[in-house]
Each structure stands twice: as C-alpha cells, then as structure tokens.
Amino acid sequence: MSARIVAVTTKQDMEDFLQLPFSIYEGDPHWVPPVLSHQRKFLDPKTGPFFEVGEAQYFLAKDGERVIGRISAHLNFAYEKHHDASTGFFGFFECIDDQDTADALFQAAADWVKARGKSKLHGPLSFGIYDEVGLLVQGYHERPVMFHVYNPPYYEKLVENWGFKKAFDWFAYNIDKLPGTIEQLTARRDEILTAANVTITEGKTSEFLKRGPEVLEMFNTLWQKNWGHVPLTERQFDDIFLQMKPIIRPELINFIIENDELLAFNVVVPDINVTLHKIRSNLNWWGMIRLLLDCRVFPLTATRDVIMGVKKSHQWRKLHHALILHTMIVQSKWRTGYSYCDCSLIPESLVKWNKTLVMFGGRIWRTFRLYDRDI
C-alpha cells in the first residue's frame, strides 16, 4: 500500500487524527475510547501542559482520502536539559496492519526531528515519561487501566521491522489477592507505624491541595535517578490532579506526617476505565453521574496506585510497606467480587521495588516497551 503522509494543519486534520482509533479498534471488546474533549486540550499547543516544555508536529497517513495511520513527532526541552540534546520523540502512533504505512509514518517523524538537529528517535511517548508510556507488548487481552497504553499485538512487529530496538521496559503489577487475613495485615501495618512513632492520615481534597507542592518536590527528588525521568512542572502536576480530583476517595489518599513534615504519601484512585468502558467514554450528563457514582459512592472493583513516595532519609523505616498494607486494608471492605489494585508504572531498573511488589502478592500483568533508533 502506498500511503500519503500529510502534516496536520487544519481543524479537520486534527479531527481525523482524533477519530482514527475508532476505526483501528472497531470491534475490539477491550478498547476504551479516549475522552475526546480532554484529548483535544491535551494535544492543543494553546492548552496542553506539555507545550510548556516542548513542541510537536502531528502527521496523518492517507490512502486517497481515507486515514489509515497517525503519529506525532516532538521535542522535549526539559528532557534535553536533564539528559541529552540529540533525542527526538514519537508518540500517538496508530496504524493499520501495513508495514509500508508504518514505515512512512516513522520516517516522517524521524525527518521532522532530524531537521531540528536530533540523531535518535525514541518512543512511543505521548508526550512524556509520565503520560502514556511505551508500546504494550504483554497483556493485550484485558481492558486497559486508566492512563495505560493499549494497542493491537501487530504494532510490535511494525515498530521493530523499521529498525527500532528495545530501550527500556515498564511494568504494571496486579494485586488481586490479600497476602494474609485482615487481622494479620493490620497487625503488620501497626507494628511498622508504632516502631516509627507515626500515623497514616487520610487525605481530604483540601489536605491534598495543601500538600501538593511537597508531593511534587518529593516526587521530582525521588525519581531523579530513574530512567528517563524529567521533573514535572507545576502546571503538569496540576493538570494530573485536576483529572483525578472528581474521582478521589479520601480514604485512598494517604500521608505520613511527622511534626508537619511530609515523610511519605500514597495516591490510589478508582480505575475510571471500568466506567468509561461501559459508557464508551461518553461523558454527557448521565455519563458524568455514572462515573461519579462508580468512583465516589459504589464499592470499587478496581483501583490504580498512581504514585507513592517516601523521603530518602526515612526509607529504612519501611513506611512504604505500611502504606501498601493500609491500602489493602481499606480496599478489602469493597471485596464483594473480583477486585484488584494496579500498581504502575514500575521501571525495570527498580529491582528492589519490583521485589517488594512481588512480596505483597503482585504479578506483572502488562509490560510497556520503549524503543530507540539512530536516524
């Protein structure tokens, strides 16, 4: 197939870019459609938080007037400041099962970043390391969790056949069984908290807002040695919080504070994809009511542990163990049927943290892969 590659320059081009996945995943029982109103803002240089630190160009692949593929090419100036200035990125890749079309899209992205002085193409990242990361290479046959990438199995072939090589893997862990009785878990949690002489505080929205700057500072400090880490800006952090704010359950947002100093935190949220899958991401008035009821009122069947952190000076006190146990205890009250907590994304380089999750009953159920190619 001979695909024609065009740059996205008009509103109709952007609508075509947004609508393509609906044809790629037509009939896929696991796919969760994107919330288009959010994605429009996210991709718009005037409103998207990424454009505070980067720039992007979107491309379409067409067969006549039919759109058969898409890709973004982008630069991340924050990445260049903290890592190297030779890497450009691609993301938002979607394509029919045709190697020539995929090759043309990858080449368009490579040409765009190369024209801006880059010698390596890396991705898929849409846009950054804390947005949607990687290519799904394991765990295709289940509904994706919120903020996870989802793609057909054949994408791996399309990417690798163009010459991309694995750069790094990220794991998602599923914890769906308690490693002991509630009494045993409670005793283990309380033993850790008593030894450290601290307590766990549930985070009301007001408390989260108050502690937000501390959480952001701790996150950027703790993750600075992780593979590919780029510090979040206040605007990027606020954008993530604004997405989560309507669905937060206070009992799942936990802090450990000592003398008004934040020592550790854990942010677990309902997996909104459970509801979005049912309503096909149609957030009209009824869809919003259904989402809020599922996330804030009804028993939860699925959650995602989005972020956890413990100050380096206190990591020896096993406060992260206490937070994990506390979350298990809280979530156990909703275990009327199948229930799980997704813990992700965990870089493969964090060997100790991967072992900790396994110790608490976690199993890798999805793997997301990032790729490099010299251009």
Q: Place 120 in a pLDDT band, splitting at 50, 70 and 90.
A: very high
* Bridge partners of residue 201, in order along the sequence: 255
- The tens digit of pLDDT for each residue in 279-331 reads 999 999 999 999 999 999 998 989 999 999 999 889 889 999 999 999 999 99
Q: Place 156 in a pLDDT band, splitting at 50, 70 and 90.
A: very high
- The tens digit of pLDDT for each residue in 5-43 reads 999 999 999 999 999 999 999 999 999 999 999 999 999
pLDDT at 202: 85
**C-alpha separations of 151 from 18, 124, 154, 195 in Å:** 15, 12, 8, 46
- The tens digit of pLDDT for each residue in 160-175 reads 999 999 999 999 999 9
d(CA 321, CA 195): 13
Q: Give pTM, 2 decimals.
A: 0.94
Domain residue limits, the chain: 4-169, 177-338
Rg over alpha carbons for the chain, rounded to the nearest Å, is 21
| DSSP single-letter state for residue 52 | G
Mean pLDDT of 152-164: 98
- The tens digit of pLDDT for each residue in 238-268 reads 888 777 888 889 899 999 999 988 999 999 9
d(CA 152, CA 112): 26
- The residue among 263, 342, 348, 358 whose CA lies nearest residue 306 is 342
Report the SS3 class of residue 109.
helix
**Res 343 pLDDT > 90:** yes
Q: Place 335 in a pLDDT band, splitting at 50, 70 and 90.
A: low
pLDDT at 1: 65
- The tens digit of pLDDT for each residue in 70-96 reads 999 999 999 999 999 999 999 999 999
The architecture of the domain spanning 177-338 is 3-Layer(aba) Sandwich (3.40)
Mean pLDDT of the chain: 93
Select the more confidently predicted residue: 334 or 299. 299
Mean pLDDT of 328-343: 83
Same fold, 4-169 and 177-338: yes
**Res 333 pLDDT > 80:** yes
Report the SS3 class of residue 65.
coil
pLDDT at 161: 98
d(CA 168, CA 178): 30
- The residue among 38, 132, 186, 118 whose CA lies nearest residue 366 is 132
- The tens digit of pLDDT for each residue in 204-217 reads 767 777 788 888 89
CATH homologous superfamily for 4-169?
Answer: Gcn5-related N-acetyltransferase (GNAT) (3.40.630.30)
d(CA 216, CA 239): 12
- With vertex at residue 339, the alpha carbon angle to CA 333 and CA 340, rounded to the nearest 5 degrees, is 110
The secondary structure of 147-207 as a DSSP string is T-----THHHHHHHHTT-EEEEEEEEEEE-S-SS-HHHHHHHHHHHHHHHT--EEE--HHH
Under 8 Å between Cβ of 312 and 268: no
pLDDT at 125: 96
Mean pLDDT of 105-116: 98
